[in-house]
Amino acid sequence: MGMVGTVGLVLHPQRDSRKAIDTILRWAAGNDVTVLGLPEEVGRIDCSAVPVDTETLVERSDLLVGLGGDGTMLRTMRLLAGRRTPILGVNLGRLGFLAEIDVDDLAGTLSAIDEHRYTIEPRMAIQAEVQGADVTAFNDIALVRIPGEGLAGVAVSAAGSDFVRFAADAVIVSTSTGSTAYSFSAGGPIVSPRVEAVLVVPAAAHSAFNRALVLPADEKVTLQVLPTSGRLAVEVDGAVLGHLCPGDSITVAAWPGAAQVVRLGTTFYDRARRKLRVDGSAEAY
């Protein structure tokens, strides 16, 4: 008997996932596998996936498949945060850094997973409390300036020790997974997801010191909004989930191994070179 008895689907809200869903349903029919999906997602596509609520999707799925881009993959990982259920990312977009395969490889990949021919890449998350609500991010939590309201003035404390103050467009707290996202565009280092580390990266810092800070997973980082700061948006994996004013603060803690991502032979370095077009200096070739 195979590993997979129930496949859960998480769909991008706009991209065409018909080909991918048809492939999954054909494979499932031939292997006596049930396919579940969220009503608002599978309901817009005429298919035989069983509509269920979020709790049932999470509880019953032996494998969760995210169909879309990196945003869909991040949402899938947040749904399963803290569970051992494997997650397969299928790229329907352009960058798709977190996805493992394209649609054409889907049927063979499902069979490989069913036969236990895959590996798991644990992914660390970060957590914080934002305006009374607990939030989880697999890429980053960022305090971002609001246009017209001044710079982001933020004091950074690591493991209870004051370290640096930034006046910047944003201050980003990133996971290793997020090191190829907002943190990367702000000049932060590329970090293998096997490294359980928390990065603190300023974006466009108005300071001679604009370096990233790399912390171990067992040290918390606190960001305090300074009196000189404007009001700041709190972005969690790119979505604005709150605002902070001068005097407010948030503390971010790591959550190691919060998601289990399926890998089938590709390496982080292969994906980084391909997706980020890492070529190096022309003089070196």
Query: How far are the Cα atoms of 114, 160, 190, 209, 226 from residue 156, in angstroms, in the given order?
Result: 46, 10, 21, 13, 10
| Exposed / middle / buried, residue 92 (Cβ in 10 Å: 0-12, 13-18, 19+) | buried
Amino acid (1-letter code) at residue 193: P
Q: How far apart are the C-alpha atoms of 17 and 39, rounded to whole Å?
A: 15
Strand 249-263 and strand 221-225: the pairing is antiparallel
Q: Is 70 a catalytic residue?
A: yes
Cα-Cα end-to-end distance for the chain: 51
Say which of 22, 53, 62, 70 is annotated catalytic.
70
Which residues have CB under 8 Å from 147's CB, separation 6+? none
The secondary element (H helix, E strand) that includes residue 74 is: helix 70-79
Residue that is written with structure tokens 């395969």 in the block: 101
Query: How far are the Cα atoms of 10, 42, 200 from residue 107, in angstroms, in the given order?
Result: 17, 19, 40
| Exposed / middle / buried, residue 275 (Cβ in 10 Å: 0-12, 13-18, 19+) | middle
Q: How far apart are the C-alpha atoms of 6 and 13, rounded to whole Å?
A: 22
Q: How far apart are the C-alpha atoms of 41 and 254, rounded to whole Å?
A: 31
Query: Which active-site residues does the annotation give?
Result: 70
